[in-house]
């Protein structure tokens, strides 16, 4: 019996290149060699495609694999662009399709989408490169957003370019930093509460989805779960969220509603701040990291799913095109 040929796509064009290498590496390591013929597909920062270390083109590459496990993050891999290429070649792949990926990657569009489904989101305004600083501050004040401010690139993930600004001077610097990663930045109100991530996985019958155990990030008040804490620190405490039943139900309900309303496929995570009034959705991650320090694998483990078993399940969904 021929083994299924799985191409693990990693690397990419944006600032999350090295995170994607780690995610893809974990996937390659975890895939069963008894079930799969595994191929390492690398897309370099320069946009060059390789399979198992050999330069290639998408046309040639897709003749050598049966399905793609998309381990890309951020620009090109998570914003609908690579999905469009895969659809053009009718290649099955894991993760969301073009439109949910594109919306999920744009934090302002995603928030509007979630708000239309009745999900609480932070107040925010968008700043663009070249925009007058005074105009930005005027719009922030007009939106009734008060310090401290959360500033991040409009597109992107892994908390790259994320800053907390405590006053207008820091706000200007934070916007400049975020605009170094994206043509637009989003400035949001700081929501006080507990940071909780909820995973969602599609059901195998194509009908609905289920949540995985919420994970709480334990941070001192007034700090953010930024890139360094996610991927460079091994000391930040994370673990099963300490929740009352009503809090758990509210988080799970909001995550499922966001997932189904956006049309996300296969699996995703949703980052919340749990306040006294309920959960506030910060953003969706349509291709969450699967690295050693990523939250989603920890949630899967609490659900009783180890990575090899989960990968087999998701590849099955991709082949069914559910």
d(CA 76, CA 43): 10
The pair phi, psi for residue 49, each rounded to 5°, is: -100, 140
- Higher-pLDDT residue of 108, 237: 108
pLDDT tens digits, 79-121 = 999 999 999 999 999 999 999 999 999 999 999 999 999 999 9
Residue 219 has pLDDT above 80, yes or no: no
Residue 160: half-sphere exposure toward Cβ, Cα within 13 Å: 18
The helix (run of H) or strand (run of E) holding residue 61 is helix 58-61
pLDDT tens digits, 21-64 = 999 999 999 999 999 999 999 999 999 999 999 999 999 999 99
pLDDT score recorded for residue 121 = 98
pTM confidence score: 0.92
Both tokens assigned to 108: 């302002």
What sections of 89-210 are H helices per DSSP? 98-105, 107-116, 133-142, 168-179
Span 250-275, mean pLDDT? Answer: 97
Q: Do the annotations mark residue 271 as ligand-binding?
A: yes
Q: Is residue 282 within 8 Å of residue 271, measured between CB atoms?
A: yes
pLDDT score recorded for residue 54 = 98
pLDDT score recorded for residue 224 = 56
Cα 15 from chain centre: 13
The pair phi, psi for residue 69, each rounded to 5°, is: -95, 115
pLDDT score recorded for residue 49 = 98
Q: Do the annotations mark residue 176 as ligand-binding?
A: no
pLDDT score recorded for residue 301 = 95
Per the DSSP assignment, residues forming a β-bridge with 47 are: none
Give the range among 152-161, 180-189, 202-211, 223-232 with minimum mean pLDDT.
223-232
Span 212-230, mean pLDDT? Answer: 68
- CA-to-CA dists, residue 217 to 65, 214, 230, 231, angstroms: 38, 10, 10, 13
Both tokens assigned to 221: 């008040």
| Cβ neighbour number for residue 64 with a 10 Å cutoff | 14
The helix (run of H) or strand (run of E) holding residue 249 is helix 245-262
Which residues are marked as active site?
Answer: 16, 158, 294
| Cβ neighbour number for residue 311 with a 10 Å cutoff | 23
Percent of the chain with pLDDT over 70: 93
Both tokens assigned to 187: 């400035």
Give the range among 202-216, 251-265, 277-291 with minimum mean pLDDT.
202-216
pLDDT score recorded for residue 227 = 42
237: which residues sit within 8 A by CB, 6+ positions away? 217, 218
All structural domains of the chain, each given as residue ranges with its CATH number in brackets, are 4-93 (3.40.50.20), 102-120+191-320 (3.30.470.20), 124-189 (3.30.1490.20)
Please provide the size of the chain in residues: 322
Q: Is residue 27 within 8 Å of residue 8, measured between CB atoms?
A: yes
Residue 140 has pLDDT above 90, yes or no: yes
Q: Is residue 121 within 8 Å of residue 143, measured between CB atoms?
A: no
- CA-to-CA dists, residue 54 to 19, 71, 135, angstroms: 22, 19, 50
The helix (run of H) or strand (run of E) holding residue 186 is strand 184-189
Residue 262 has pLDDT above 50, yes or no: yes
């Amino acid at each position: 019996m021929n083994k299924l040929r799985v191409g693990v796509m990693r690397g990419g064009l944006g600032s999350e290149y090295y995170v994607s290498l780690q995610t893809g590496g974990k996937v390659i390591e975890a895939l069963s060699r008894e079930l799969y013929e595994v191929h390492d597909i690398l897309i370099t920062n320069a946009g060059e495609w390789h399979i198992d270390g050999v330069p290639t083109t998408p046309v040639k590459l897709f003749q050598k694999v049966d399905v793609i496990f998309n381990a890309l993050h951020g620009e090109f891999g998570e914003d609908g662009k690579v999905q469009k290429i895969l659809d053009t070649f009718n290649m099955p792949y894991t993760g969301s399709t073009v439109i949910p990926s594109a919306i999920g990657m744009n934090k302002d569009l995603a928030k509007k989408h979630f708000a239309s489904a009745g999900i609480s989101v932070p107040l925010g305004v968008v700043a663009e490169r070249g925009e007058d600083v005074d105009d930005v501050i005027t719009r922030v004040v007009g939106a009734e957003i008060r310090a401290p401010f959360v500033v991040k690139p409009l597109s992107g993930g892994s908390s790259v370019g994320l800053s907390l600004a405590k006053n207008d001077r820091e706000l200007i610097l934070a916007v400049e930093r975020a605009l170094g990663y994206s043509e637009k930045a989003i400035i949001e109100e700081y929501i006080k509460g507990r940071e909780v991530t909820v995973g969602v996985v599609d059901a195998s019958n194509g009908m609905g989805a289920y949540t995985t155990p919420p994970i709480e990030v334990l941070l001192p008040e007034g700090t953010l779960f930024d890139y360094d804490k996610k991927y460079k620190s091994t000391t930040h405490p994370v673990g099963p969220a300490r929740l009352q039943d009503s809090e758990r139900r509210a988080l799970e309900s909001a995550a499922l509603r966001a997932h189904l309303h956006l049309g996300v496929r296969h699996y995703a995570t949703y980052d919340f701040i749990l306040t006294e009034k309920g959960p506030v959705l910060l953003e969706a991650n349509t291709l969450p990291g699967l690295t050693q320090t990523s939250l989603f694998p920890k949630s899967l483990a609490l659900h009783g799913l180890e990575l090899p078993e989960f990968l087999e399940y998701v590849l099955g969904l991709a082949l069914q095109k559910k």
